[in-house]
Amino acid sequence: MRVESHVNWLPLTLTLSRAGERGKPGYYANVYCFYFERTKVDGMFVLGTAGHIDHGKSALVKALTGIDPDRLREEKERGMTIDLGFAWLKLPSGREVGIVDVPGHERFIKNMLAGVGGIDLAMLVIAANDSVRPQTREHLAILDLLEVRRGIIVITKRDLVDDDWLGLVKMEIEELVKPTTLAQAPMVAVSALTGAGLPELLATIDRLLDTTPPRKDIGRPRLPIDRVFSIAGSGTVVTGTLIDGSLALGQEVEIVPSALKSRVRGLQTHKTKVEAAEPGSRVAANLVGVTIFQLQRGDVVTTPGWLSPTTMLTGKLRMLSYYPRPLRHNAEVSFFTGADETLAKVRLLEGNELKPGETTWVQLLLDEPVAVVKGDHFIIRSTMDTIGGGKIIDAHSKRLRRLKPEVIHDLRVKEEGTAEEVVLALLEAKQPVELSVLQKQCNLPAAEVESLVESLINQGLVLRLGQGAHGLLVTGAGWQRTVKRAVDIMQEYHSKFPVRAGMPKEELRNKLKMGASAPSILQKLIDEAVIIEEKTGVRLPAHKAQLTLAQQAKVDAFLDSLRKNPYSPPSDLIPEPDLLNLLVDRRDVVKVAEGVYFSVKTYDEMVAKVVAHIKASGKVTLGETRDMFQTSRKYAQALLEHLDAEKVTKRVGDERVLG
């Protein structure tokens, strides 16, 4: 994605920033100034810091970006990050990425969890003079539980130690990360004070993001809110990391779990106005019709009607190996997912306790509803420590019977994906596809697949091309990609051949590379007015043939020659094929044979006279036709053979009768 915006200032305004826990708002008075400058945004990725308090996370972010992520007055007074901080960074490649700076103090671990869930790349920050500390281990454990597989180990305060000490710190870190998802993460030593190592760090971030896949777009945008504030004259603004879909200006949205309805009045990414925000980007959304008192951290902004909150879910839980005691059945914990937090009770489905380092199936009974979907990650904590975490398998679960092998078997089947998700995944992998083929690929009863497909069509996630047994299915996102590809092909063709009225259908079919599916796709493009059908060709709705002055002069000279010699048109002024085809398409001339063209007016007159003669005499000969128009045998014969081909006449010996 590439976004460009113009310079625009907003005045300084006093705002209220809602922070912290559900049910315990707490307000900080802050001043925000929004400055929109001309900038370009390439790629949508978010980096997140992690690490122990006072290991230089915020100083590193400021050294990299020039932005101080500590926005609260209390943070500046105490010299420590309390809540989430945000910045953005332009890398050497020109790519811009968002940065979420999290607090390192153990008392603010819940704020850390609110920011770390939506990151694409983790920066585990460890001070060279302090090495591995308690929150280093806990933050790393959280990244591991969330399955964050891309990261960089950043050793800060390089200027405070010598090379020998630095070597020992690196050895300790290597041992620490070995059993985690960051085992292969590169390690870079830097100094935010002197700038040493920062160029290498930037290059490393760029290199890792080169191979980082973009966030998926399944057409169901979710913006977990991590900050709420108000701007005078604009109203309520929420921020978060957008996942699973795009948001656009003017879009109707719903806030879950409160079911409040709103509309997107404004969007920003990295303080830049955008028309639409893509998944994976840090987004600020100006919402209409809701106040900051109605919203809180953990709420989710999404499209209306599909995301239902839940108070019971089923998942797979992995317990940290260093947690000091087993987790008991029905234990009460703090539950974290996305930016949300609530209390929960843990139902162990395979035993009465879970030992450190073990994994099991669990049900979580939540004190308050949360907005989650299958595949979301979660973390559970005690009052002071992280216990473990895992992935949600069923977001809307009924109460399951414990210690039952058949229940565990069903959960293992569900772990592979819901039926609808399986259908969507198969369509995304190979589309378009016939329903009968899809039914076989799903390995589900035909009636069940048909019902699932109808449900997905009603939700707008799948489209049907054509009708009957051979109708084709595509995902909504896949169809939009096809539309874009068709438009790009047509634009290129019109640019290359501006004189031509349109592109041959067969050529477009071939370039779409859809094989036997191409006719159905082409018809859908025509039905939706993406392209306009013109005889055997197609064109974009806005396309009109454009002639240069020289080409127009050739056309005028040719048409003038047809007017002066209507029945014996000269061939020396016939223009090039593109111009001729344009004149034929516009019904200015009619081609009756190779090198023989009549104006439409003359052609219609000649056909009428030939037909009238046959009706009067019963037949017409070549000589009679030649004499009728005072022309040569060449033109009379070309006309009659053309009329034979058009079934106007039929040759019988040396004579023609009506066809």
Residues contacting 325, CB < 8 A, separation 6+: 356
List phi, psi (to 5°) of 468. Answer: 80, -165
Could you read off the pLDDT of 235-255 as tens digits, one per residue?
Answer: 899 999 899 889 999 999 999
pLDDT value for 111: 65
3-state secondary structure string across 56-83:
CHHHHHHHHHCCCCCCCHHHHHHCCCCC
pLDDT value for 109: 65
Looking at per-residue pLDDT, the higher value among 190 and 584 belongs to 190
Could you read off the pLDDT of 71-96 as tens digits, one per residue?
Answer: 544 433 434 343 577 888 889 998 88
pLDDT value for 248: 95
pLDDT at 158 exceeding the cut of 70 = yes
- Could you tell me the two tokens for 584? 């034929």
Residue 526: its H or E element: helix 518-527
- Please state whether the predicted TM-score (pTM) of the whole model is above 0.75: no
- Rounded CA-CA distance 309/333 in Å is 19
- Rounded CA-CA distance 153/176 in Å is 11
- Could you tell me the two tokens for 326? 């087993």
Per-residue b or e along 164-175, where b marks 16 or more CB atoms closer than 10 Å to that residue's CB: eebeebbeebee
Length in residues, the chain? 659
Q: Are 47 and 119 in contact (CB under 8 A)?
A: yes
Most confident of 26-30, 312-316, 517-521, 612-616: 312-316
- Rounded CA-CA distance 564/230 in Å is 77
What percent of the chain clears pLDDT 90, i.e. is strictly above it?
38
Averaged confidence pLDDT in the chain: 83
pLDDT value for 451: 86
Sorted by where each starts, the structural domains of the chain and their CATH numbers stand as 45-210 (3.40.50.300), 225-294 (2.40.30.10), 310-415 (2.40.30.10), 418-546 (1.10.10.10), 549-658 (1.10.10.10)
Sign of CA dihedral 226, 228, 231, 235: positive
Residue from 462, 467, 472 nearest 434 by CA: 472
pLDDT grade for 372, boundaries at 50, 70 and 90: very high
Most confident of 193-202, 504-513, 594-603, 639-648: 193-202
The radius of gyration of the chain's CA atoms, rounded to the nearest angstrom, is 35
- Rounded CA-CA distance 523/482 in Å is 13
Segment 343-351 mean pLDDT: 97
Could you read off the pLDDT of 552-589 as tens digits, one per residue?
Answer: 777 877 888 888 888 888 777 777 777 777 777 778 88
pLDDT value for 237: 92
pLDDT grade for 7, boundaries at 50, 70 and 90: very low
pLDDT value for 13: 35
pLDDT value for 34: 33
- Could you tell me the two tokens for 6? 């113009």
List phi, psi (to 5°) of 234. Answer: -120, -35
pLDDT value for 33: 33
Residue from 588, 586, 602, 584 nearest 639 by CA: 602
Could you read off the pLDDT of 134-154 as tens digits, one per residue?
Answer: 889 998 999 999 999 999 999
Q: Are 156 and 125 in contact (CB under 8 A)?
A: yes
pLDDT value for 10: 34
Residue 238: its H or E element: strand 235-241
- Could you tell me the two tokens for 30? 């802050």
List phi, psi (to 5°) of 324. Answer: -75, -10
Rama region for 352: left / alpha / beta (φ>0; ψ in -120 to 50; rest): alpha
Q: Measured in whole angstroms, how far is the alpha carbon of residue 502 from the centre of its chain?
A: 31
pLDDT at 516 exceeding the cut of 80 = no
Could you read off the pLDDT of 96-115 as tens digits, one per residue?
Answer: 898 888 765 455 466 667 65
